[in-house]
Each structure stands twice: as structure tokens, then as C-alpha cells.
Structure 1
Amino acid sequence: MPDAARLIAALCICCVGFIVSHQIIPLMPESTSFGYFTYVNAIIGVCVGWTVMGKRAGRGPTAAIHNGFGGVMMMVLWCLFVHSSYQMFDRAMANWYNGAFDALLAIFKFMAEYGLVMINPLVIFSLIAGGILSGLATEFAWRTWR
């Protein structure tokens, strides 16, 4: 059921995903083509905010902070999975893998590589601060517009 908490959670996590995406771009090699990288992450943020964070609103401020952390972590995991799957599919079409199992293992290898790129103090701080603010804003929206 649509409500204000789901909308605010979707918008907040979308903004966090968009901002962090722009912080990650300079950390990648210069030859990397990003294309729709930031927009895909923002759309994943909207979906995670709506489905994960929005339905958990209304349990108090401590739970709101945990909700924000959980939402941000889900967004990071889904973004890593989507971009790693895209990278694997691109290489699979160029016949890089001997079988389906090698291709599936490559997804997790790419997730680990991209996750290591994200270990940057600015990115981590942005994710933590964005998660806290998103969780509190979602809780505020739930309490204000029921």
C-alpha cells in the first residue's frame, strides 16, 4: 500500500545511491565506461527504499537508524549484483567462460572487486550518513503522514 513513508524512503535512498555513484566514478580506472551507472543505482535505490525501508517504518528512532543501515546495505548489495551480472553477461557474450558455472562464479568475483573499490572513507561515510538520515526521514514521514 503506498504511503508517505515508502515515498520518502524511496527518494532518500535514491539520492544516496546517486551521490555515492558519483563518488565511486573517480575511484575506478580511467578506461571504464559508466553509461547509465548512476541512473541504474538510483533506480535500484528507489526500489529498495520502497520495498525494504518503507514497510519497516514506524518502530521508533533506534529501529529507524537500523532500517536506514539495512536499506543502504541492501542497495549496495543489489547494485553490486546488478553491475557484476552485467559485466559477466558482457564477457559471456565474448566467450570468456568455459561453462555456466564459471560465469556464475565470475559474478561473485566481480562483486568482490567492485566492493574493494568502495572501501574509501568518503564513500563509507556517505553511506553511513545517508542511511541514518534516510531512516530518520522515513520514520518522521511515517509519524507525520499516516
Structure 2
Amino acid sequence: MPTAGRLAGAIIFALFFWYIAGLMTPFFPEERPPSMLVPASVALGIFLGWRMVGGRAGHGYNAAIGIGLTAGASYAFWILFGMAFDQMWKNAWRRLYDGPMEAVADIFSLMIEYGQDFASFNLIANLLIGAVICAWVTEYFGQKYP
């Protein structure tokens, strides 16, 4: 059921994850991120804002802190997973794996490598603090317009 909290969550998190995708740009070689990073970030923001954060709006600002941190961690996981899956797919077409299980297992090692590349205090702090602030804004609209 559409609510103001869900709509606000979808919009604010889409804009916020677009901003985070821009912050991630300097961490890529030659500052050229994958072409699907921004659209995937916005789509993930809409989905997480609508389902995860907006669906739980109206339970108080303390609960919004946990929900916002969960949304930020979910964003980080799915973006790292998507980039690792894309790299695994490219490696698989180059026949760098002996079998499908090796390819699937490599996704998680690639996720760890990408996570180490993005391990910046500025990026992580922006992601976590911004996600909490966005969850508070969503909570405000969820309480004001139930």
C-alpha cells in the first residue's frame, strides 16, 4: 500500500545513493566507474527506500536509526555484489575458471577486494550518517502523513 513514508523513502534514498555513487568515482581506475553504477544505485535506493525504510516508517526515530544503518549496509552489500558478479561474468567468458563453483566462490573474494578498495573513512561515514539522516526524514513523513 503506498504511503507518504514509502514515497519519501524512495525519493530520498534514490537521491542519497546517487550522491554516494558520485563519491565512489575517485576509487575507480582513471576515475571511470562502471556505466551501470549510477542507475543501479538509484534503482537500489528506490527499492530500499520504498520496501525497507518506508515500509517501517512510523515506529519512532530510534527505530529509524537501525533501519537507516541496515539500508546503508544493504546498499554496500548489493553494490559490491553487483560489481563482483559483473567481474566474475567477464572472467568466466575469458575462461579463467575451471568450473562453475570456482566462479561462484570468486564472487565473494572479489567482493572483499572491492570492499578493501572502497575502505575510506569519508565514504563509509557519509554512507552511514547519511542513511540515518535519510531514515529520519522518511520517519518524519511517515509520522506526519500516515
Matched, 1:77 2:77: yes
Identify which range, 27-36 or 116-125, moves more after superposition.
27-36
What stretches of structure 2 of length at least 5 have no aligned partner?
none
* TM-aligned CA deviation for residue 33 of structure 1: 5.3
Task: Give the number of equivalent residue pairs.
Answer: 146
- Superposed, 1:110-125 pairs within 5 Å as 110-125=110-125
After superposition, the Cα gap between the structure-2 partners of 1:77 and 1:33, relative to the gap in structure 1 and judged at 3 Å, is closer
Partner in structure 2 of residue 14 of structure 1: 14
* TM-aligned CA deviation for residue 51 of structure 1: 1.3
Residues 68, 134 of structure 2: 8 Å contact kept: yes
Partner in structure 2 of residue 100 of structure 1: 100
Could you tell me the percent identity over the aligned residues? 28
- Measure the CA separation in 1 of the matches of 2:31 and 2:126: 25
* TM-aligned CA deviation for residue 129 of structure 1: 2.1
Matched, 1:126 2:88: no
Identify which range, 25-34 or 55-64, moves more after superposition.
25-34
Residues 69, 131 of structure 1: 8 Å contact kept: yes
- Measure the CA separation in 2 of the matches of 1:123 and 1:145: 32
After TM superposition, which residue ranges in structure 1, 4 or more long, deviate above 3 angstroms? none
* TM-aligned CA deviation for residue 16 of structure 1: 2.1
What stretches of structure 1 of length at least 5 have no aligned partner?
none
Q: Deviations over 1:106-143 (max 9, x none)?
A: 11011111111221121012112211111101110111
Describe the SS at the equivalent of 2:72.
helix
Residues 68, 135 of structure 2: 8 Å contact kept: yes
Partner in structure 1 of residue 136 of structure 2: 136
Describe the SS at the equivalent of 1:74.
helix
Residues 24, 123 of structure 1: 8 Å contact kept: yes
- Measure the CA separation in 2 of the matches of 1:20 and 1:83: 15
- Superposed, 1:17-96 pairs within 5 Å as 17-30=17-30, 34-96=34-96
- Measure the CA separation in 2 of the matches of 1:30 and 1:92: 24
- Measure the CA separation in 2 of the matches of 1:142 and 1:111: 34
The TM-score with structure 2 as length reference comes to 0.92
Q: CA RMSD in A?
A: 1.5
Query: What amino acid is aligned across from residue 11 of structure 1 in structure 2?
Result: I
